[in-house]
Structure 1
Amino acid sequence: MKFTIKGLMGAAAMMMASTIAAHAQTTLKWAHVYETSEPFHTESVWAAEEIAKRTDGRYKIDVFPASQLGKEADINQGLKLGTVDIIISGSSFAARDYKPIGVTYYPYIFRDPAHLIAYTKSDVFKKLAQGYEDATGNHIAAVTYYGTRHTTANKEIKTCADMNGVKIRVPDVPAYLAMPRACGANTTPIAFAEVYLALQNGTVEAQENPLTTIEAKKFYEVQKNIALTGHIVDHLNTVISKQLWSSLSDEDKKIFSDVMMEASERATKIVEEREAALVEKFKADGLTVTEVDKADFEKTVLENQPVESFGYVQADYDAIRAVQ
């Protein structure tokens, strides 16, 4: 009888310990709109696993790719509603809550990826990121190079004037509109997940995205001309919700931040390596890849769509341009 009681007590203790452990583990949702083949997903999965390791399993993070939890606007809203805890999203969407940060999407503000990464370590970045956090409570934990945006179209494009009258899909974000509108194109906002079909059925005649995205989303199947406009050196933010960030201890904040920055560095390296090889790959696949007159594009944008016309601060633009 004594052994039976001891056995029952032991089993009860084990069940209680298991219950406590289960309660101690916090499950989080990490959402983005990118494909599972892209580094923004693979390195998010790595980060989720790494955070679990470094916190001794106290956090279990499930990553939801490819718009599973909604389009980019939806997951940004999810941070406010508490339906997601972490997202990967562009500063263009952050600018809906804090307009000045949108200047980082103004065409030709960054010279190249190295300039972008240098900016993320600068005082002007700290100022803009803090402004966004003050406005929303959400915390930008890391920045990843997304790729340099180029244009695909039904016809060859060499100059800004060649875009006149072209129906082009552009995200419904002010700074994204600057280059196409400066060149006289007709901009059409279409959700990212619907771009392929819109190109295929002729709803639009062109779109703009990095080469890695053109490959991942298979836009090259329905567009045979790539113009290397290089108009935006693009980036994504890893954003932690106000609710989650405020609940973390200082130690856990450091773990989350360190891991997310490591993940962004890993993803950035992958993107740069892939981009370097894609121009030749697309040419080999029979696509027309055209070098454009970038000086012509930049001059036209500055003249027709000036920085302050979007409500951005000229001093922020100047400070970013000055970063070395």
Structure 2
Amino acid sequence: MTKSNPPRFTATLAGFGTLFALSLAPLTAEAATEIRVAYGNQPGEPVDVAVKAWAERVAEASDGELTLAAFPASQLGGETEVMEQARFGSPLITITAYSNFMSSVPDLAVLDAPYLAEDFDSKLKVFDSDWFAEQEQKVEAAGYHIVIPNTVYGVRHLLSRNAVSAPQDLAGVKVRVQNSPMYVAAIEAMGAVPTPMSLGDVYPALAQGLVDGVENPLPVLYGGKFYEVVKTLNLTGHMHTVAPFVTGQAFWDQLSAEEQQILTETGQEMATNLRGLVEQETAKSMQALTNAGVEVHELDTTAFRERAGEEIPAAFPQWSDGLYDRIRQIMEE
């Protein structure tokens, strides 16, 4: 008895099924949108921990259709470079300073003014104000979109070679700042010589004597291991920094309304998480710096505060009339 061959249509359908499945595979892979998140902070610092937790929430909320890839330690470039990448449409979100909008939306830079606020709760009131809503519209017209406006970055202090008690103690002292007109003006108002550079370049610059100090929140000062080179922590408390996470408006417009909502809502969760991490890590970093042999120097900041109040508004004639006082009024309401 001769065995019959299997029907040809069975093999054909099986082959077609395989081809159909293979044809769907790249479509499924391409459906997910990956967004790079760039920041200068080191792995393990609060920003890094919060961003990675944010990535998990975004993937969960979008069923994997939207993903965030963390790029710490200035891997994608300095702040100015990354901001330009975002503005030209790269799928990228970066944490920046409000003062980096000085050329496009100058009034926003006031939020980074030294000694403007004495605590975070009062400063966070600004982000619910009509004034800030007006600034957001100007940011979008300049080609950017603020994804998260209100992330608490920390209270900034000065780590330097010598103790500082008054502005005159900083005469001739070179302090690293980010490349921003406000930060440059802030350090000048404090009496020092501002030296702009990327956060990733600070350690070798301190070691080589190119700068004498660096200002930042305690977790950043500890995470960057700058205490290995300079050993005096001056509690200047010159800024209560609240920073935005920003992307380009062109890229933002490419996202669906659902994707935008996911990023916005989970972004606010991230901001809450980051504030808690900053508070926890600030206390831990203070102890760690002390254990590393850093001398903690407390000082009366009255002279610094008065000098900043006079010099900062005068340094920015492009600001709206009465801007500095208007922001202080919003915070006091």
Q: Provide the TM-score with structure 2 as the length reference.
A: 0.90
Query: What is the match of residue 218 of structure 2?
Result: 211
Question: In structure 2, how many angstroms separate the alpha carbons of the residues matched to 1:85 and 1:186?
Answer: 33
Query: What is the match of residue 303 of structure 2?
Result: 296
Structure-to-structure mapping, 1:73-92, within 5 angstroms:
73-92=80-99
Q: Does 1:286 align with 2:302?
A: no
What do the CA deviations read for 1:83-126 (whole angstroms, capped 9, x no partner)? 44211212122333221111111111121122233322333332
Residue of 177, 180, 184 corresponding to 1:177: 184
Query: What is the match of residue 237 of structure 1?
Result: 244
Deviation of the 1:225 alpha carbon: 0.6
What is the one-letter code of the residue matched to 2:43?
T
Quickly say closer, same or farther: Cα 1:169–1:20, change in 2 above 3 A. closer
Query: What is the match of residue 16 of structure 1?
Result: 23
Query: What is the match of residue 160 of structure 2?
Result: 153
Question: In structure 2, how many angstroms separate the alpha carbons of the residues matched to 1:36 and 1:118?
Answer: 30
Residue of 58, 68, 80 corresponding to 2:75: 68
Query: What is the match of residue 41 of structure 2?
Result: 34
Quickly say closer, same or farther: Cα 1:243–1:200, change in 2 above 3 A. same
Contact 2:147–2:267 at 8 Å: present in 1 too? Answer: no
Query: What is the match of residue 309 of structure 1?
Result: 315
Measured on the aligned residues, the alpha-carbon RMSD in Å equals 2.0
Contact 1:181–1:187 at 8 Å: present in 2 too? Answer: yes
Query: Aligned residue pairs: how many?
Result: 323
Higher mean displacement: 128-137 or 192-201: 128-137
Higher mean displacement: 29-38 or 224-233: 29-38
What is the one-letter code of the residue matched to 1:187?
P
Q: Does 1:107 align with 2:114?
A: yes
Question: In structure 2, how many angstroms separate the alpha carbons of the residues matched to 1:183 and 1:317?
Answer: 18
Deviation of the 1:314 alpha carbon: 4.8
1:120 match: secondary structure: helix
Higher mean displacement: 102-111 or 183-192: 183-192
Contact 1:32–1:88 at 8 Å: present in 2 too? Answer: yes
Contact 2:186–2:312 at 8 Å: present in 1 too? Answer: no
Question: In structure 2, how many angstroms separate the alpha carbons of the residues matched to 1:227 and 1:281?
Answer: 15
Higher mean displacement: 191-200 or 163-172: 163-172
Deviation of the 1:35 alpha carbon: 1.1
What is the one-letter code of the residue matched to 1:252?
E
Residue of 159, 163, 170 corresponding to 1:163: 170
Residue of 247, 268, 273 corresponding to 1:266: 273
What is the one-letter code of the residue matched to 1:144?
T
What do the CA deviations read for 1:129-160 (whole angstroms, capped 9, x no partner)? 33212222433434211111111111111122
Question: In structure 1, how many angstroms separate the alpha carbons of the residues matched to 2:148 and 2:291?
Answer: 39
Q: Which structure has the larger Rg?
A: 2
What is the one-letter code of the residue matched to 1:32?
Y
What is the one-letter code of the residue matched to 1:226?
L
2:74 match: secondary structure: coil
- Percent identical among aligned pairs is 29
2:128 match: secondary structure: coil
Q: Provide the TM-score with structure 1 as the length reference.
A: 0.92
Deviation of the 1:221 alpha carbon: 0.8
What is the one-letter code of the residue matched to 1:286?
G
Deviation of the 1:297 alpha carbon: 0.7
Gapped regions of structure 1 (runs ≥ 5): none
What is the one-letter code of the residue matched to 1:206?
G
Contact 2:90–2:251 at 8 Å: present in 1 too? Answer: no
Quickly say closer, same or farther: Cα 1:23–1:173, change in 2 above 3 A. closer
Higher mean displacement: 99-108 or 158-167: 158-167
1:148 match: secondary structure: strand
Question: In structure 2, how many angstroms separate the alpha carbons of the residues matched to 1:268 and 1:228?
Answer: 20
Deviation of the 1:169 alpha carbon: 1.9
2:59 match: secondary structure: helix
Residue of 108, 129, 137 corresponding to 2:136: 129
Question: In structure 2, how many angstroms separate the alpha carbons of the residues matched to 1:172 and 1:24?
Answer: 37
Deviation of the 1:281 alpha carbon: 3.6
Query: What is the match of residue 209 of structure 2?
Result: 202
Quickly say closer, same or farther: Cα 1:48–1:8, change in 2 above 3 A. same
